[in-house]
Structure 1
Amino acid sequence: MPPQQTNIASETGGDAARLRLDLSTILSLLRRYWYAFQERRQRPRVTLQDLSDRELMDIGLTRGEIDYITPERAIDKLRERATDLWSRGGM
């Protein structure tokens, strides 16, 4: 059987054009996500402590329940106590 002739040049050119299109689309998406990420980082954060009592009541919380929900605050309090003990020579 004789070898078949193929038009490799046109197939390669089409793949290269498709690859450029895909790459530019991907880069465009990455750029948009990066700008959105940067914008999100610059926004001020609102914590539960910043909410009014009315806003806390709207989401079903009281000010006293915040410490139970956010363990970071409890850990911070423990760190402060340990730092105070170390600074006073208690440990």
Structure 2
Amino acid sequence: MLPQLTNISSEIEREGARLRLDLSIVLSPLKRYWRAFQERRQSPRVDLRDLNDRDLMDIGLTRGEIDYITPEHAVRAIRDRAADLWSRGGM
């Protein structure tokens, strides 16, 4: 019986080694992508107001449109719509 146990354990070790190899193939690119993501998150952000008019034109914006695409404007618009619904008795 002991020889069978050693055969089984060696098969398990081989299977485990194969699985570790397969797992490292998957995890290696994920680790690289995660590191790149973290580095990108820590890099300084560019504010649209810091761009010159030429750069804004390249991305299809004018200086006057900056305030209309900011998150603050979106929140203000939602709040105004909700207030309008409340004033009309819609909610």
With the shorter chain as reference, the TM-score category is 0.5 to 0.7
Q: Match of 1:66, as an amino acid?
A: I
Map of 1:48 onto structure 2? 48
Q: Residue 22 in 1 paired to residue 22 in 2? A: yes
**Unaligned 5+ runs, structure 2:** 1-6, 77-91
Equivalents in 1 of 2:9, 2:58: separation in Å?
66
Deviation at 1:44, TM superposition (A): 1.0
Name the stretch that deviates more: 9-18 or 32-41: 9-18
**Unaligned 5+ runs, structure 1:** 1-6, 77-91
| Root mean square deviation, CA, Å | 2.6
| C-alpha distance after superposition, 1:31-78 (max 9, x if no partner) | 2122112211221111211110111122221111111111325759xx
* Conservation of the 8 A alpha-carbon contact between 1:53 and 1:62: yes
Identity %: 73
TM-score (norm: length of structure 2): 0.56
Total equivalences in the alignment: 70
Matches within 5 A, 1:1-91: 12-72=12-72
Deviation at 1:8, TM superposition (A): 5.9
Name the stretch that deviates more: 65-74 or 31-40: 65-74
